[in-house]
Structure 1
Amino acid sequence: MKIFITISRLIVGSLFIVSGLIKCNDTIGFSYKLNDYFAHDVLNLEFLIPYSLLLAVCICVVEIVLGVAVLFGLKSKLSTTLILLMMLFFTWLTWYTSSCLEAQDAAGRLGEEFTKNCVSDCGCFGDALKLEPKESFYKDLFLLIFTIPLFFFGIKNKIPKNTKKEDWFYMITSLVLIFAFGVLVIGWWFTVVFSIALFALVYVIKNKVKGDWLVLLGAYLISLAFTYYCLQNLPLKDFRAYKIGDNFQENMKLPADAQKAVTDYIWTYKLNGEEKTFTDRGRGPAEYDEIISVETHVIEEGDVPKIQDFTIESEDEDLTQHFLETDKLVMIVSYSLEKSEAEGMAQLKALADKAKAQGYTVIGLTASGEAKKQEVKATYNLDFDFYLCDEKVLKTVVRANPGVVVLEKGTVTQKEHWNNIDDLEF
Structure 2
Amino acid sequence: MKDKNLHIIQKIGANVCRFLLAASFIFSGFVKAVDPLGFQYKIQDYLAAFGMTSWFPSFFPLLGGILLSAAEFSIGIFLFFGIKRTLSTTLALMLMIFMTPLTLYLAIFDPVSDCGCFGDAWVLTNWETFAKNIVLLIAAIAVFQWRKMLVRFVTLKMEWLISLYTIFFVFTLSFYCLDRLPVLDFRPYKIGQNIMQGMSIPDGAKPSVYESVFILEKNGEKKEFTLENYPDSTWTFVDTRTVLKEKGYEPSIHDFSMMELSTGDDITEDVLTDMGYTFLLVAHRIEEADDSNIDLINEIYDYSVEHGYKFYCLTSSPEEQIELWKDKTGAEYPFCQMDDITLKTMIRSNPGLMLIKNGTILNKWSDEDIPDEYVLTDKLENIQLGQQKVRSDIHTIGYVFLWFVIPLVLVLGVDILIIRRRERKREKRKQQQEMKEQ
TM-score past 0.5 threshold = yes
Residues 1:7 and 2:16 are matched in the alignment: yes
CA contact (8 A) 2:313 2:336 kept: yes
On the 8 A contact 1:345/1:380 being kept in 2, the answer is: yes
Q: What's the CA shift string for 1:258-314, capped at 9, x where partnerless?
A: 5889xxxxxxxxxxxxxxxxxxxxxxxxxxxxxxxxxxxxxxx74311112121113
Deviation at 1:229, TM superposition (A): 1.3
> Corresponding residue for 2:94?
85
**Cα shift at 1:145:** 2.1
Query: In 2, Cα distance between the equivalents of 1:338 and 1:73?
Result: 48
Which residue does the alignment assign to 1:179? Answer: none
Aligned length: 325
1:220 aligned to which of 162, 167, 174: 167
Which residue identity lines up with residue 323 of structure 1 in the other structure? V
Q: Distance in 2 between matches of 1:135 and 1:32?
A: 21
Matching residue of 1:62? 71
1:367 aligns to 2:360 (yes or no): no
Match for 1:321 among 246, 269, 284?
269
| Structure 1 residue 5 displacement after superposition | 0.7
> What is the distance in 2 between the residues matched to 1:257 and 1:30?
35
One-letter amino acid of the structure 2 residue matched with residue 12 of structure 1? L
Tell me which amino acid in the other structure corresponds to 2:122.
Answer: L
**Helix, strand or coil: the match of 2:203?**
coil
**Structure 2 partner of 1:181:** none
2:179 is matched by which residue type in structure 1? Q
Is 1:123 equivalent to 2:110 in the alignment?
no
Alignment of 1:334 onto 2:283: yes
Query: For the residues of structure 2 that align with 1:341 and 1:87, how far apart are their CA atoms?
Result: 37
Partner of 2:285, secondary structure, is coil
**1:46 aligns to what SS in structure 2?**
helix
> Could you tell me whether the CA contact under 8 Å between 1:345 and 1:402 is conserved in 2?
no
Q: Give, in whole Å, the separation in 2 of the partners of 1:257 and 1:345.
A: 47
Residue of structure 2 in register with 1:150 after alignment: 143
Residues 351, 421 of structure 1: 8 Å contact kept: no
Q: Look at both structures and tell me which one has the larger radius of gyration over its CA atoms.
A: 2
Shift of 1:345: 3.0
CA 1:64–1:90 in structure 2 vs 1: closer, same or farther (change >3 Å)? Answer: same
Q: Which of 286, 289, 297 matches 1:348?
A: 297
Matches within 5 A, 1:410-425: 410-422=359-371, 425=385
CA contact (8 A) 2:11 2:146 kept: no
Deviation at 1:377, TM superposition (A): 1.9
Q: Does the aligned pair in 2 maintain the 1:333–1:366 contact within 8 Å?
A: yes
1:190 aligned residue = none
Residue aligning to 2:392:
none
> 1:258, 1:137 → 2: CA distance?
30
Matches for 1:404-415 after TM superposition, within 5 Å: 404-415=353-364
Distance 2:161 2:101 in 1: 33
SS in 1 for 2:259: coil
For structure 1, the 5+ residue unaligned runs are: 102-117, 168-205, 262-300
Q: What CA distance in whole angstroms lies between the structure 1 residues aligned with 2:294 and 2:351? A: 7
Contact 1:334 1:340 in 2 (8 A): yes
Q: Give distance in 2, aligned partners of 1:255 and 1:345.
A: 41
3-state SS in 2 of match to 1:342: coil
Letter in 1 for 2:69: C
Matches within 5 A, 1:14-413: 14-39=23-48, 41-42=49-50, 44-48=52-56, 49-101=58-110, 118-154=111-147, 157-159=148-150, 162=152, 167=153, 210=157, 212-256=159-203, 258=205, 302-315=248-261, 316-326=264-274, 327-413=276-362
Deviations 1:355-383 (A, max 9, x none): 33332101100011112212212322222
Query: Cα distance, 1:219 vs. partner?
Result: 0.6
Residue 237 of structure 1 and its aligned partner are, at CA, apart by: 1.1
- Counterpart code for 2:306: A
CA offset digits 1:186-211 (Å, max 9, x no partner): xxxxxxxxxxxxxxxxxxxx56x826
Report the Cα distance in structure 1 between the residues aligned to 2:311 and 2:260, rounded to whole angstroms.
15
CA–CA distance in 1 between the matches of 2:99 and 2:269?
A: 41
Q: Is the 8 A contact 2:15 2:143 kept in 1?
A: no
Alignment-mate amino acid for residue 396 of structure 1: T
- The alpha-carbon deviation at position 158 of structure 1 amounts to 4.2
Give the 3 Å change call, closer, same or farther, for CA 359–338 of structure 1 in structure 2. Answer: same
Unpaired segments of 5 or more residues in structure 2? Answer: 1-9, 209-246, 377-384, 387-438
The amino acid that maps onto 2:189 is Y
Task: Give the Å deviation of 1:346.
Answer: 3.7
Aligned to 1:191: none
TM-score, structure 1 normalization: 0.72
Q: TM-score, normalised by structure 2?
A: 0.70
Give CA deviations for 1:114-158 in whole Å, capped at 9, x if unaligned.
xxxx1000011111111111001101111122111111123xx44
Distance (Å, rounded) in 1 between the aligned partners of 2:356 and 2:267: 15
Partner Cα separation in structure 2 for residue 94 and residue 148 of structure 1: 18
> What is the root-mean-square deviation of aligned Cα atoms in Å?
2.1
Further displaced range: 306-315 or 392-401: 306-315
Deviates most, 18-27 or 46-55: 46-55
C-alpha separation in 2, matches of 1:399 and 1:303: 27
Distance in 2 between residues matched to 1:259 and 1:313, nearest whole Å: 26
- SS, match of residue 18 in structure 1: helix
Instruction: Decide whether the 8 Å contact of 2:290 with 2:351 is kept in 1.
Output: yes
Deviations 1:52-91 (A, max 9, x none): 0101100111111101111222221111010011112221
Aligned-partner SS, 2:282 = strand
Q: Distance in 2 between matches of 1:383 and 1:23?
A: 37
% same residue: 33
Q: Deviations over 1:162-206 (max 9, x none)?
A: 1xxxx2xxxxxxxxxxxxxxxxxxxxxxxxxxxxxxxxxxxxxx5
Counterpart CA distance in 1 for 2:370 and 2:250 is 33
- Equivalent-residue separation in structure 2 for 1:19 and 1:310 (angstroms): 28
